[in-house]
Structure 1
Amino acid sequence: MTQTHPRNPGAPLDPSWFEHVAVNTPAAEARVADLTARRGLTREWQAAWLVNAIRCIDLTTLAGDDTEARVARLCAKARRPLADHILEGLGLEALTTGAVCVYPTMVGAAVRALAGSGIPVASVATGFPAGLMPLPLRLAEIRYAVEEGAAEIDIVITRAHVLRADWSALYDEIAAMREASGAAHMKAILATGELGSLANVYRAAMVAMQAGADFIKTSTGKEAVNATLPVSLTMVRALRDYGARTGARIGFKPAGGLRTAKDALAWQILMREEMGRDWLTPALFRIGASSLLGDIERQLEQHVTGRFASSSRHALA
């Protein structure tokens, strides 16, 4: 069963925590380049880190032609993400992904397909991916997803609030979404590729956490630029600063553009070096992905058998 962590109680809006923060973009780029260059993982260590990545994946389908049958196949993959011979070769009896992420209308199908597995269903909401709907409709969509059985809600923010530096409007919006989420954990998608600067990314992340977000998430996967390591470093530093002020432990979810086993390793290295081992668990780290799992399974089959299989042998659904 995927672990959860205590809810973020939030904090009053306080712009002094972030308004005057500057982010040195070249320094951020240099930091992540150094991280991924100097920590090498080979053989058993690499296999262990790839298995951990699977535990942290929010296995996702967010397509216009999604059906209950497609969702059921995805859920079957979430229950058994690796072929039996790979599990046996790794000495594992069982392994699941961190969650399955779908549209609100597919939540019921996912809940039924995952019954008894302990795998939570996450639902995007609030007019995903653009979020350009009246707030009452976005809140109603959250409530619908929760009523259908979603244990986690991935909300999108109004990017214009960030671009105008209207922090009160952003805070009030996210706080209302947190209230509508009820007992479901809430992940705030910042759509970082549309925020204009790393400084804006930091500020938006801090406001989201003050408003009660349990996770901060990079992207919808639909922007021109999605998760990058410099953006992720900026967000991780924000959640670290928030934790230092409040004691709250906030989760992090990169999404969009993570497609290879190498990507899965790079983001875990970032979390290990910046936040420590506690943030390498599904309770505090998720990877939003669909195609990533296929490449990880291919790499693990090579580790177990000494041979690379065709990617078609590891289709998700």
Structure 2
Amino acid sequence: MSLRVVDNTPSEATHKRNPGFPLDLDWVERIRMNRSALERRAGTIGARRTVKKDYQLAWLLKAITMIDLTTLNSDDTDGRVERLCAKARHPLRQDILDKLDVGSLRILPGAVCVYHNFVKTAVTALEGTGIPVAAVSTAFPHGLAPVETKLREIELSVADGAREIDIVIERGMVLRGDWQALYDQVKAFRKACGDAHIKTILGTGELATQTNIAKASLVCMLAGADFIKTSTGKEKVNANLVTSLTMIRMIRWFAEETGIEIGYKPAGGIATAGDALKYMALMKEELGTHWLQPHLFRFGASSLLTDIERQLEHGLTGHYAADYRQPMV
């Protein structure tokens, strides 16, 4: 089997990074989200199959390139991180690549995401691959620490070689409507990141309303965020299509007003190939195929790759392999 993959969209090299903009409180206060309308629209995504047969296999290969392969457990070790990085180097078994005839394509995850303590380990393990290391920072997952501590953590992760920093906002600022404080803090985080890209984790499951989520999204983008991200994966409610639609529409509005394209990262609970296809369909329909690139869209996931590999093998053989044939770590 040979899958033809055509990609004429702009690359990361030509992407214009968000420079940040002044806080526009009038814009923030104009935002209103209709949850019922969002739910109806999101419901249309999961109610139908998006792609089939060879097209589905091609989409799943594309999905691999947009995964932030993640381990954020309290019992993480250098050995576990090294095994995760080994999987990142070879996300698919060679026999699957050969049968799909895609060995010449660069099918690697978008990043490997770890705690600060393991940044050096991951950087060393990924040397020569071009796969960036992302570090969760700023007192992940709750963000409740002195701002000086959080800034120092960012600086140390960047110094250790992290090229992306996933920061967490203080949810209380959103719940109080303290947009100036949120803006100032994210702007300071962005400055501390330097050339490393900043993904702002909103913790959407703890923000109470879709309007709050939309406002927080805008404030973070105005402050210079390169990505807005749903969740830490540690909340009771993580990524879902309704919240994703809210954030994606704020990204679209921001691009229309500023000309700057911001990335989106749903995280938490995205574990199956079917989940991935739904999110990719939502991105394509709301923002266009252009946004289905690693510099504009990522999945935060730890087990998604295993299911994608199983689905690819099923597409080739008609049979599902046992999980242990595609071990993650």
Find the aligned partners of 1:42 and 1:313 in 2 and give their Cα distance: 24
Does residue 1:64 correspond to 2:74, yes or no? yes
Partner in structure 2 of residue 90 of structure 1:
100
Quick one: percent identity of the two aligned structures?
A: 55
Matches within 5 A, 1:218-297: 218-297=230-309
Partner in structure 2 of residue 13 of structure 1:
23
Letter in 2 for 1:62: L
- Structure 1 residues 205 and 102 mapped into 2: Cα distance closer, same or farther (>3 Å)? same
Q: Do the aligned partners of 2:123 and 2:161 also contact (CA within 8 Å) in 1?
A: yes
TM-score, normalized by length of structure 1? Answer: 0.98
Find the aligned partners of 1:268 and 1:3 in 2 and give their Cα distance: 22
User: Which of 23, 42, 45 is the equivalent residue of 2:52?
Assistant: 42
Question: Once the 2 structures are TM-superposed, how far is the Cα of residue 217 of structure 1 from its aligned partner?
Answer: 0.3
Find the aligned partners of 1:259 and 1:285 in 2 and give their Cα distance: 16
Letter in 1 for 2:289: R
Partner in structure 1 of residue 148 of structure 2:
136
Q: Do the aligned partners of 2:19 and 2:224 also contact (CA within 8 Å) in 1?
A: yes
Partner in structure 1 of residue 90 of structure 2:
80
Find the aligned partners of 1:241 and 1:18 in 2 and give their Cα distance: 12
Find the aligned partners of 2:315 and 2:212 in 1 and give their Cα distance: 42
- Cα RMSD of the aligned pairs, angstroms, is 1.3
Question: Once the 2 structures are TM-superposed, how far is the Cα of residue 193 of structure 1 from its aligned partner?
Answer: 0.2
Question: Once the 2 structures are TM-superposed, how far is the Cα of residue 38 of structure 1 from its aligned partner?
Answer: 3.9
Structure 1, residues 226-285: CA drift from partner, whole Å, max 9, x if none? Answer: 001000000000011111111001000000010111000000000000000111010100
Partner in structure 2 of residue 110 of structure 1:
122
Question: Once the 2 structures are TM-superposed, how far is the Cα of residue 2 of structure 1 from its aligned partner?
Answer: 7.6
Find the aligned partners of 1:38 and 1:18 in 2 and give their Cα distance: 34
Question: Once the 2 structures are TM-superposed, how far is the Cα of residue 6 of structure 1 from its aligned partner?
Answer: 2.6
Higher mean C-alpha displacement, 87-96 vs 58-67:
87-96
SS in 2 for 1:19: helix
Question: Once the 2 structures are TM-superposed, how far is the Cα of residue 3 of structure 1 from its aligned partner?
Answer: 6.4
Find the aligned partners of 2:291 and 2:109 in 1 and give their Cα distance: 16
- Structure 1 residues 112 and 4 mapped into 2: Cα distance closer, same or farther (>3 Å)? farther
- Structure 1 residues 109 and 293 mapped into 2: Cα distance closer, same or farther (>3 Å)? same
Structure 2: stretches of 5+ with no match in the other structure: 1-10
Q: Do the aligned partners of 1:57 and 1:289 also contact (CA within 8 Å) in 2?
A: yes
Find the aligned partners of 2:145 and 2:306 in 1 and give their Cα distance: 35
Find the aligned partners of 2:119 and 2:220 in 1 and give their Cα distance: 25
Structure 1: stretches of 5+ with no match in the other structure: none
TM-score, normalized by length of structure 2? Answer: 0.94
